[in-house]
A and B are shown apart, each in its own frame.
Chain A
Amino acid sequence: MKQENNNAHKFGMVIDLDKCTGCGSCMVSCMSENNVPFKEDESNKKDSITWMSVYKLTNGKSFPDTEIAYLPRPCQHCGGKGDHGHSPCVSVCPAVATDYGYDTGIVSQIYTRCFGCRYCMGACPYHARYFNWWDPKWPEGMENYLSPNVSPRMRGVVEKCSFCYHRYQAARDVAYYEGRDDIEEHEYQTACTTACPSGAIVFGDLNNPAHKIHQIVKPDPHPDPRNKHVIGKSRNPKVFRLLERLGTNPKVYYLSEREWVRKQGDSYLDGEWDKIKNHHGTSSHG
């Protein structure tokens, strides 16, 4: 049920694709932080669990004009059409095993509630959801390195990026202990954000103008006049979201100076891109 809360956070991420080198540190730190199990042979990427996955984009041109970009893709924590919290996955889960946090904007996954129907995986266009096809196993001795703050998942359930929610809980605990009502920006940062060596990932509260992410993204709180389902469109012409046209309203934004990179965020009919590439959040025109 939607809960109106003017003090609600809306945690999100902006990833500078011009800074990303594709090193994979974000993926490794994510797996380590979140006790993601792995297989002896992970060459089949379609049944390996990588909450954070890095895609390789190219401009499709041959040498010497070839350009490459790497696109890290965590769960997009979609707000759904109109940003009402009916994310593609949340709205379809028959057992409320995945839920939308109206106080954080984070899409959760309740492992002990999930019975493994995988409807959410089918509904997610980003392939951000992963099924535990096998029992989680770690090489002998490695169990000692597991994080005590994150529960490992059992076979037969779906899992995905949680924006390191346990870190948010820990930060809130500290704030509560210190008598504060809220947490500081630096107190809650995801593992991938802190691990990125080039500082390509910025994480914070999209609702808080003091946060760096807000200043980069400049999210437009009004519906996009071209598509009433789209809320939070960036007013920064260099910022885009993946599949924004579908109305999923992700909270992960991408930043690039390169037009061909931005164009890959969505699909466009012939000639369409040139007409709408300069269309940004409404306030940018005001």
Chain B
Amino acid sequence: MDSALIPEGAKRCSFPKFTIGIAIVGAVLLWGVFAMFLCWFKGLNQTNMNDYYGFALWIWADLAVIAVGGGAFFTGLLRYIFKIDELKNIINFAVIIGFICYSSALLILAIDIGQPLRGWFIFWHANVHSMLTEVAFCLSAYFAVLTIEFIPNILENRQVNKVPFFHHLAHNMHGVMAVFAATGAFLSFFHQGSLGGVAGVMYGRPFAVREGLLIWPWTFFLFTWSAAAFGPCFTLLVTRITEAVTGKKLVKDNVIHLLAKISGWMIVTYIIAKIIDTIYWAMVTAPSLGFTLSHFYSNNGFYGYWILIAEIVVCGIVPGVLLVMKSTRENPTLRLVAIILGTIGVCLNRWVMVLQIMAVPVMSFDTWALYFPSWQEIATTILPVAYGIILIAVAYRYLPVFPQEQELNPVEPVTE
């Protein structure tokens, strides 16, 4: 039925099967959309947030999708600026994942603010001292860059590409893509960093506050670094999931191994920096404010030392080492374990840097505050996942996302 739109020489499932799959995920998406409208029309009383948890699940989701979406800017940087040519075979997909992540982040922010119609105030009445202002500007600008990076791939659709103008436009956009990749890397450095700065500058919160360089707390650099380190893990993970769902090999192993190796070294260097930061904070910063490390990890029903060990050791050192060592990196199972742990690790870091900050009591007579999100918060957080699955499914079906697909999966000629 839609065969004219499918890339030439590529094999896709039947249209009814595709439609059923989209409908199932679409139902989840509609559930999220329903919850989104409830929040917009009835207000944020639909959530379980409160005055202790002004930042909660949504801000974590924002930080997490932007961190894992970091694969787009970092892969683009490696491909176009550092000229690592093999990565051209995964860059399209990295850009699509980034596009999904950043559009999701913007959508979640639009739900999260109490007065959505005033969202533009952040640009119009910008406070240059606020990290959130920098986030808003750079995030929006980078989303525009990602859109520009995604357009040539869309124009390569079999039918669209028949139009000479679109064909040439796509070709010329590819030619200048290095400029956008550089712009994207620049913008990402700042907004990933500012998201880390959001926590690091909160000097009223000893769990969050960090010293730093000039106006930037150390969390600024750690967030950028971790996004560049773990973002490719997520790109690899989604590629692996896509390969499992489609039952096809889509990217050659040498490309996967290369990106995994780069990610591994980034994770190892990041985790060393993270450990130094944690030790300095625990031994110097927090004690100078009257707090011991145990204050942040005890006397409550959820946050214990386990979360620190899980983030730094299990989901930091372990995936880093697994991806750096050739034998484990090239073992498909161990590589999968590493990229799953890495993705969990960066999400856990963002969780800690949002929700644990809110949970820890600061005044000596205050108490821990724990929170569980409402179904509306959960549904609106799952909404971007459903949207992402649908966009990837549509893009994979109709666009030449993986340049090596046909080489890896030759279609046998039909003999009649």
| A residues apposed to B, CB below 8 Å | 44, 46-47, 55-57, 71, 81, 86, 88, 91-97, 113-119, 121-127, 129-135, 154-158, 242-243, 245-248, 263-269, 272
Question: A119 touching B55 by the CB < 8 A rule?
Answer: yes
Contact A269 B292 (CB under 8 A): yes
Q: Residues of A contacting B50 with CB < 8 Å?
A: 44, 46-47, 133
For chain B residues 190-237, which have a beta carbon within 8 Å of chain A? Answer: 198, 201-206
Residues of A within 8 A of B358 (CB): 122
Contact among B122, B126, B362 for A125, CB-based, below 8 A: B362
Verify A122–B205 contact, CB threshold 8 A: yes
**Least Cβ–Cβ distance between A96 and chain B, in angstroms:** 5
Interface flag for B17 (CB, 8 Å)? no
Q: Of the 9-residue stretches B110-118, B166-174, B325-333, B400-408, which lies at the interface with chain A?
A: B110-118
Whole-angstrom distance between the alpha carbons of A282 and B348 in the complex? 45
Majority secondary structure of chain A interface residues (helix, strand, loop or mixed):
loop
Interface of chain B, helix or strand or loop or mixed?
loop
B residues in contact with A247, CB < 8 Å: 203
Given contacts A117-B132, A269-B287, contact A123 B202 (CB under 8 A): yes
Q: Which residues of the other chain, A, contact B126 by a CB distance below 8 angstroms? A: 94-96
Among B116, B198, B203, B204, chain A packs the most CB atoms within 10 A around the CB of: B204
Q: Is the CB of B125 within 8 A of A97?
A: yes
Closest A residue, CB atoms, query B135: A94
B269 at the interface (CB under 8 A from A): no
Question: Are the CB atoms of A119 and B203 closer together than 8 Å?
Answer: no
CB-CB nearest in chain A for B132: A94
- Output the least CB separation between B215 and chain A (Å): 11
Instruction: Determine the chain A residues whose CB is within 8 A of the CB of B36 once the complex forms.
Output: none
CB-CB < 8 A to A126: which residues of B? 204, 363
A-B contact pairs, 7 of them (CB 8 A): A92-B129, A115-B115, A119-B198, A125-B205, A245-B290, A248-B204, A265-B364
The 5 closest A-B pairs by CB, nearest first: A116-B114, A156-B114, A118-B54, A121-B54, A267-B290
Known: A129-B51, A267-B364. 4 other contacts (CB 8 A): A94-B122, A114-B115, A129-B54, A133-B50
Contact pick for A117, options B113, B201, B202, B289, CB 8 Å: B113
Q: Does B412 contact A (CB under 8 A)?
A: no
Is the CB of B127 closer than 8 A to any CB of chain A? yes
Closest to A133 in B: B45
- Which of B43, B53, B126 counts the most chain A CB atoms within 10 A? B43
Instruction: List A contacts of B202 (CB < 8 A).
Output: 88, 92, 122-123
Question: Among the listed A125, A129, A132, which residue makes an inter-chain contact with B363, where contact means beta carbons less than 8 Å apart?
Answer: A125
Q: Which of B348-387 contact A (CB under 8 A)?
A: 357-358, 362-366, 369
The answer to whether B203 touches A246, judged by C-beta atoms less than 8 angstroms apart, is yes
Closest to A80 in B: B203
Chain B residues with Cβ under 8 A from A44's Cβ? Answer: 50
> Which A residues are in CB contact (< 8 Å) with B292?
269
B305 within 8 A of A: no
What residue in chain A is nearest B117 (Cβ atoms)?
Answer: A115
Contact at A122–B118, with CB atoms within 8 Å?
Answer: no
Contact A272 B290 (CB under 8 A): yes
Residue of B nearest to A273 (CB): B290
Give the docked Cα–Cα distance between A264 and B115 (Å).
Answer: 37
Q: Is B369 touching A131 in the complex (CB atoms < 8 A)?
A: no
Question: How far apart are B206's CB and chain A's nearest CB, in angstroms?
Answer: 7
CB–CB B290/A96 < 8 A = no
CB-defined contacts of B121 to chain A, threshold 8 Å: 95, 97, 113, 115
